[in-house]
Structure formats: structure tokens, C-alpha cells
A and B are shown apart, each in its own frame.
Chain A
Amino acid sequence: KAGVTQTPRYLIKTRGQQVTLSCSPISGHRSVSWYQQTPGQGLQFLFEYFSETQRNKGNFPGRFSGRQFSNSRSEMNVSTLELGDSALYLCASSQTGQAYEQYFGPGTRLTVT
């Protein structure tokens, strides 16, 4: 069974631009969660999608948004990028939700200059 995949793996953007990250979960998994990881803050929860609906949301500004498609693939969008958005963005999939074992993708390393 293929693992969680994320594209692109690395990205360099300029302040003010927007970016879209993609995550393909493990086949059969309906829950996809997104996290931001920085050295100082650790893993911070962005949002969770389940069957195309946002089920939970963390404390991030509205510049961060996401969606999930019928095949469970998910995208995350960040608009009006700021230097502080530089981070590793991880997505994780599970069969039913965050309360169960999550499988993480390799992440997208975003650098904002």
C-alpha cells in the first residue's frame, strides 16, 4: 500500500504570493489533517478534513485554507505569504480521524523570502 504523498517537496516563494500544497492520503483513508512544523513551535494543527468537510480547525489566520476532494486528496492554500510562514507543512491521513493512528507524509518545506 502506498504511503502518504505530498507535492511539492520544496518550495520557495516571495512575500505576498500565494501557494497551494497537495496531499494524497493512503488509499481508503478518509481523514486528512494538516500541520505546520517550526523549530520553535513544534507541530501545530491547521485543520482536518473528512469526507470533503472541514471537521476541525486550529488557531491560524484565514489566510490558511484547505479543501478535500471526493477521492480524499487534499489541498492547502496560503495566501499573502509572510516570512513567518516558512515552515515544514505536514499532512497526515487516518481511516477515521485524528483520534486514531495517523500516517504522515514527508512534508513540503516552504521558504518565504
Chain B
Amino acid sequence: GQNIDQPTEMTATEGAIVQINCTYQTSGFNGLFWYQQHAGEAPTFLSYNVLDGLEEKGRFSSFLSRSKGYSYLLLKELQMKDSASYLCAVSSNSGGYQKVTFGTGTKLQVIP
């Protein structure tokens, strides 16, 4: 089976940096996604890590360590609009195809 853990809630201050962690246990690992979901809206793609290391995309960066089953999403220069849920999702082999399993999400509240 698969197990994905991420904190339920986090609070951070506008302008600051926040790191959202995700740990996973899975067989046939292929890669790890991060999605952002604002309240009442659909998830939108943020990043996809396949290899170990840090991938930077503007204010957002995502890190992966396959040996540790660990990833984090780093948000810099936080803005109020970053208040949302952040979903960690693992892609793995399933019956010859790729299957994606989502974590329950981390609700981030950005305060002034």
C-alpha cells in the first residue's frame, strides 16, 4: 500500500518563508507532485520532482529525497493569496501503468 503524511495545518506571516513537508512510503515510486488548491476551487499543478534535489520555480521550490521518502515545498515571500491547501501526491507503478495517490493536504494560512 501507500502512505503519505503531511501536516494538517500551518500558519505563516506575509513576506516570510514556509516549508511544507511530505513523507511517503510506496513501492514502484516514480515521482512526486505538489498541487495548490484554494478553498472552493480545483487543484492546480505546482511542481513535479523525479530526481533528488531542489527544483525552483519563482517563489516556489520543491525538494525530493527518494532514499528518505521525503519532499518539501518551499514558499518564499509569502503573499496573502498563498493561503490555500497544498497537496502532496506520489506517482507509482500500478499494474504496468502510473497511478497517483494524494495526501490529505496541508492547509496554509498566511496572516498579515
Contacts and interface: CB of A to CB of B under 8 A. Distances in A.
A98 B42 contact: no
Contacts of B30: 99
5 contacts: A43-B43, A45-B102, A97-B98, A101-B45, A101-B48
Main secondary structure on chain B at its contact with chain A?
strand
Interface stretch (B60-68, B69-77, B89-97): B89-97
Main secondary structure on chain A at its contact with chain B?
strand
Given A41-B104, A99-B31, A101-B48, A106 B98 contact: no
For the complex of A and B, list the 8 residue pairs with the smallest distance between their C-beta atoms, beginning with the closest.
A99-B98, A42-B104, A104-B42, A43-B102, A98-B100, A101-B45, A99-B91, A56-B99
A64 interface: no
A97 B98 CA distance: 7
A102 B99 CA distance: 12
A: interface residue count bin: 20 to 34
Given A99-B31, A101-B48, A43 B87 contact: yes
A33 to B, nearest CB: 8
A55 interface: yes
